[in-house]
Amino acid sequence: MVPAHSPASSTREISSHVTGGDTTCRLRWWAVGAGPHTVRVVGDRVEDVAAAPGLLSPERAEALLEALPNGFALLDADWRFTWVNAASARLAGSTREAMVGSVVWDVLPGSRGSAVEGAWRTAMAQQRETVVEVHASVDPPLWLEVRAWPDGDGLATSTTDVTARHLDREAAERSSRRNGLLTRSGAELGGAVGVREASERLAHLVVPALADWCVVSEVEGDDQLLRGAVRTAGWWHRDSRRLPLVARLALETSAVVDQPRASTPDGAQAAAREVFQPLLQGRPVVLTRGAADVMAAAVTDPGARAAIAQLDPSSLVVVPLRGRYGLVGLLSCYTDQGRPAPDAEDVALITDLARRGGLAVESARLRDEQQRLGEALQRSLLTAPPLLPGCEVAVRYVPAAHSAHVGGDWYDAFAQPAGPVLVVGDVVGHDSRAAADMGQVRGILRGLGVADDTPPAELLARVDTAMASLGVETTATAVVARLEREAQHLTTGGAVLRWCSAGHLPPLAVEPGGPARVLPGRSGLLLGMEQLTGGSVRNEHVAELAPGSTVLLCTDGLVERRGTALDAGLEQLRAALEAFRDLPLQQLCDAVVRRLLPAHPEDDVALLAVRLRPA
């Protein structure tokens, strides 16, 4: 093809001898005004040249083909060149004289077994046009489009340099992939929970799109690498079999930049570490070759050096991870031998991902700090139960998988003159705020409960009033139960369970050798609703307990499942309590939790079990 305007509607056929032999080729061409033309050579042999006189002279046809920038050639049935133009000889790295009369596979040995040979043989055998695009050269890059048309017993072939078109297409595809990667990074990094997860997600974004493997390091402490502690937070390799090598090297990463904590380096180490000095000014480090040698000289651990030798990276890009308040880490990206070194666009994209990753790591670090504070608060509240007269107490707390040990569930137990008081509650939420709110509600209930001999229903009503007066803006469910022993119980060891529920699950009880039961009774409004309802009515219930009975209170995380009715969950809990009733109390709690909870629970669980001691 030669450049042209849009094709005209008419077609003219011309015939000409294009070689010095007997071959006559029919040429079909589209004339476009008085300007440039698009000429398409198609097959078949013309038997009678005189049948189309005056359309185009043989000399003019040959000159036209000779002027084409495309390579054009004719092959006979024996795969010998019968005519080639200058462009075809140039693309073949040969001459017209050497090619004409020679077998194509001798002139172009590299085409043997290639897509070009397959296309040509298909065109010859099936008498139809074929086209194939081939990567002919890497340096400089060369992409060719090779067409073939049947020409009697032979072929007419055209070879066009489509490198520019291919590179443009590659650039567009690369731009689309990069834009997609940046778009995906927002969702991936924004949803990370914790520094390690944010680091691992960043590593998976980089590999294999921009590197063969990478290491994400966290910088703790000051905004300066020289004064901050560097530790590895995540890594990844496109070949999972090589992950142990990356892990071995990742553990030594801090030696490269955490210089004050390393021994005085020798000359080679000092020179290698000098390469990483731009990081101290917040600039990336780019090594397009020799990365393995530099890394091997920079580290001190023999195991890390052995890992580098086996990984054998060819290039390296190290980019600082910066948050809103300073440096938070490093992103080290490696490419293996055989993969092109990162270009300026790659480095720019890695830097952009590092910027997003730095913000994600910083946010995760802040959440981790809040998490630690919440855990400390919760540990201070979920203390071991006190020794209560006449009974044994066991407690369990299981955090939700996503909340990482912080939530609003709690248990408590304390003594009143009338008997031991048992409490289980659940503040709305599963985060540090829920833990703080839980601390307030628990403190109010505990303070009011130990002040006098207030029974469960009145105690919950007072908690409602106190929450409204103190401006505690949360809601919670709770169940309060009191074990009361009257005169007749002093000799038998039994008791009366007096209890009240504020929107919470009822207690369960089981006697030795008897069936487990869910204690019947109405549940009232949640705590914290008094300011909306203008007051709350609390219903109190009593149940007789035989000596040796076990009472179990829990939050709904133990029985509530997505897509399953709450009553079904309660029945499963009742059956489990009955099945394990003869176990020691601590073992009973563990067995119930194992049976009912999945490996990764969606909600927190607080459980309190009490067993009456015989008199």
Question: Residues 171-193: what's their mean pLDDT?
Answer: 84
Average pLDDT over residues 469-486: 92
Name the token pair of 236: 């990844």
252-307 pLDDT per residue, tens: 655 454 443 444 455 556 666 677 777 777 788 999 998 888 888 877 778 888 88
Grade residue 444 by pLDDT with cuts at 50, 70 and 90.
very high
Mean pLDDT lowest among 45-54, 395-404, 430-439, 531-540: 45-54
d(CA 328, CA 229): 10
> CA 328, CA 144: separation in Å to the nearest integer?
48
Res 377 pLDDT > 90: no
Across 185-194, 245-254, 597-606, least confident range: 245-254
Q: Is the pLDDT of residue 321 over 60?
A: yes
Q: How many CB atoms lie within 10 A of CB 24?
A: 19
- pLDDT above 90: percentage of residues in the chain: 43
Residue 57 has a pLDDT of 64
Residue type, 515: P
Asked whether the predicted pLDDT for residue 214 surpasses 80, the reply is: yes
Rounded Cα–Cα distance for residues 9 and 161 (Å): 27
The C-alpha angle 511, 513, 517, rounded to 5 degrees, equals 45
Q: Which pLDDT tens digit goes with each residue over 5-20?
A: 333 333 333 333 333 3
User: Distance between CA atoms of 490 and 425, rounded to whole angstroms?
Assistant: 30
Among 110-124, 187-201, 264-278, 507-521, whose mean pLDDT is lowest?
264-278
Per-residue pLDDT at 398: 86
Give the other-Cβ count within 10 Å of 90's Cβ. Answer: 14
- 69/503 Cα distance (integer angstroms): 85
Say what the pLDDT of residue 282 is: 79
**pLDDT score of 429 more than 80:** no
**C-alpha span between 404 and 197 (Å, rounded):** 13
Residue 42 has pLDDT above 60, yes or no: no
C-alpha to C-alpha distance for 289 and 307, rounded to whole angstroms: 18
Quick one: pLDDT at residue 139?
75
Rounded to a whole number, what is the distance in angstroms from the first to the last CA of the chain? 106
- pLDDT, average across residues 419-430: 90
Q: Is the pLDDT of residue 596 over 60?
A: yes
Name the phi and psi angles at 544, rounded to 5.
-80, 135
> Distance (Å, rounded) from C-alpha 19 to C-alpha 34?
28
Asked if pLDDT for residue 558 goes beyond 70, the answer is yes
Q: How far apart are CA 139 and CA 141, in angstroms?
A: 5
In 262-418 the beta strands, taken as DSSP E runs, fall at 285-287, 313-323, 326-336, 391-398, 409-416
The answer, yes or no, to whether residue 22 has pLDDT greater than 50, is: no
Which pLDDT value is given to residue 30? 36
pLDDT of residue 70: 85
Pairing of strands 81-84, 213-220: unpaired
* pLDDT higher than 50, residue 212: yes
Helix/strand/coil percentages in the chain, nearest 5: 40, 25, 35
Overall average pLDDT of the 35-51 stretch: 40
Please give the model's pTM, rounded to 2 decimal places: 0.55
Predicted local confidence at residue 274, as pLDDT: 73
Give the least confident one: 43-52, 369-378, 592-601. 43-52
What's the average model confidence in pLDDT over 455-465? Answer: 94
The answer, yes or no, to whether residue 124 has pLDDT greater than 80, is yes
- What is the Cα 134 distance to its own chain's centre? 36
pLDDT at 11: 34
- pLDDT category at 477 given cuts 50, 70, 90 is very high
pLDDT category of residue 537 using cuts at 50, 70 and 90: confident
pLDDT above 70 covers a percentage of the chain that reads: 82
Check residue 18 and give its pLDDT.
Answer: 39
Contact 558, 605 (CB under 8 A): yes
Average pLDDT of the chain, as a whole number: 82
Q: Report residue 432 CA to chain centroid gap.
A: 25
pLDDT value for 406: 66
Question: Can you give the pLDDT at residue 508?
Answer: 97
Residue 102 has pLDDT above 60, yes or no: yes
Where is pLDDT greater, at 541 or 564? 541
Structural domains in the chain, CATH included, are: 12-161 (3.30.450.20), 182-371 (3.30.450.40), 382-612 (3.60.40.10)
pLDDT number for residue 390: 85
